[in-house]
Structure 1
Amino acid sequence: MTFDDAALTIAASGRHMDAKGWVPATAGNISIRLGPEDIAITRSGRHKGQMVPADVMLVDGDGASREAGARPSYETLLHCGIYRRFVEAGAVLHGHSIANTVLSRRAGASIRLAGYELLKAFPGGPTHDTVVDLPVLDNDQDIPRLQRAVDALWDDAPDAPPGYVIRGHGVYVWGADMHAAMTRLEALEFMLLCHLEEGRHSR
């Protein structure tokens, strides 16, 4: 994929996520890996519902801008951490839905999702009869320190699902390409919304 193709894909994905209510204001960030040391990612401070290809820039594998004076998303290092750890990852999505924000504020170390048909969007089983514990990490404005916490999670749980939530902040998911990552995000957000509604009605 060329950078121009990636920029078009990222812009379209941002508009789609905005239409779903997952990236309010300037929240969220999106990236595509173009090669071992090239990542196309959203620029800092862009509204995802109004994105055009010019709102995407190029960084290297350590998150450094390849464009003089340009500033990538504040959380670029979290994207780099995913690509560094998972060679199969080709796209990363980060969103701030109501469901993932509220549930993560109530959760402990994970959010357990069980019995949902859409669990098939995650590795682990071909049917709904499976369980996924979505990791929840405490929020931290020190992004390198937060990435170290994510790395420690993966070191301790190498079979963790391809996604995690930052408490009160938002969710990260990834996939082999943008289609796979978006499918995973849509499935996860549906299950989280169901989980939130079940909790509300069980009180």
Structure 2
Amino acid sequence: MPNRIPEAAIHAIIEAGRRMAERNWVPATAGNISVRLPGDRVAITRSGFHKAHLSADAVMAVDLHGAPEDPALRPSAETGLHCGIYRAFPDTRAVVHGHSIANTVLSRRAGDTIRLEGYELLKVLPGLDTHAAAVALPVLDNDQDIPRLQAAVEARWARMAAPALPAYLIRGHGIYVWGPDMDAALARLEGLEFMLACKMAAISLGGSDP
């Protein structure tokens, strides 16, 4: 019989889904949310659930390689990307994945990275204590083969200066963001989404990124 998922983890996932849905970052049944549990377990949203209306039944548990504890339940198709983050960054306790208009549009027209520079909200990212900074948000090509996409993510991490930025974009698809707890992951997501929205607004006005 599958081990019980702690109520705190379920509550964190449900509340994250509600907050992300309020901002239109998880339309329809898009997006997925997870929390790392003790014993190399991961609580993650099941496939096909709208994130504005999650309940305990919408959350299931997998191991660090994405295998469901209850074979009758189907996890998100992108569970392997969550697990890859947890394996690579053991201090990570929460991962959120959203599909905003800004991250979808900008990633479709970007190269390998999107540069974010001079924004006050850069301070939401670890190691940055001033707006006078710049980060290169990685952009990876979309791929329906999740193990192959995860291998591409790991190859990108290997080329990045340590510590790696706790986020990346999948082209035309969405953003992955993680943190030491759900509050941190959501704060980083909100900061990045704000900066991406600013960048898109500047482009739409015919100017350069501020």
SS in 1 for 2:60: strand
Report 1:24-63 matches (<5 A): 24-63=27-66
Deviates further, 128-137 or 151-160: 151-160
Deviates further, 123-132 or 133-142: 123-132
What is the percent sequence identity of the aligned residues? 58
| RMSD across aligned positions (CA) | 1.0
Q: Could you list the structure 1 runs, at least 4 aligned residues long, displaced by more than 2 angstroms after superposition.
A: none
**Amino acid aligned to 2:139:** V
C-alpha displacement of 1:36: 4.3
Give the number of equivalent residue pairs: 202
Match of 1:74 among 74, 77, 92: 77
Question: What residue is the counterpart of 2:173 in the other structure?
Answer: 169
Q: Distance in 2 between matches of 1:3 and 1:76?
A: 19
**Amino acid aligned to 1:110:** T
Residues 110 and 36 from structure 1, CA distance in 2 versus in 1: closer, same or farther, beyond 3 angstroms? farther
Deviates further, 45-54 or 20-29: 45-54
Question: What residue is the counterpart of 1:197 in the other structure?
Answer: 201
Match of 1:144 among 147, 150, 165: 147
Q: Distance in 1 between matches of 2:174 and 2:93?
A: 20
SS in 2 for 1:71: coil
Q: Distance in 2 between matches of 1:125 and 1:89?
A: 18
Structure 2 portions without partners, runs of 5+: none
When the two structures are superposed, what TM-score results if normalisation uses the length of structure 1? 0.97
Report 1:176-191 matches (<5 A): 176-191=180-195
Correspondence 1:23 to 2:26:
yes
Question: What residue is the counterpart of 1:95 in the other structure?
Answer: 98
When the two structures are superposed, what TM-score results if normalisation uses the length of structure 2? 0.94
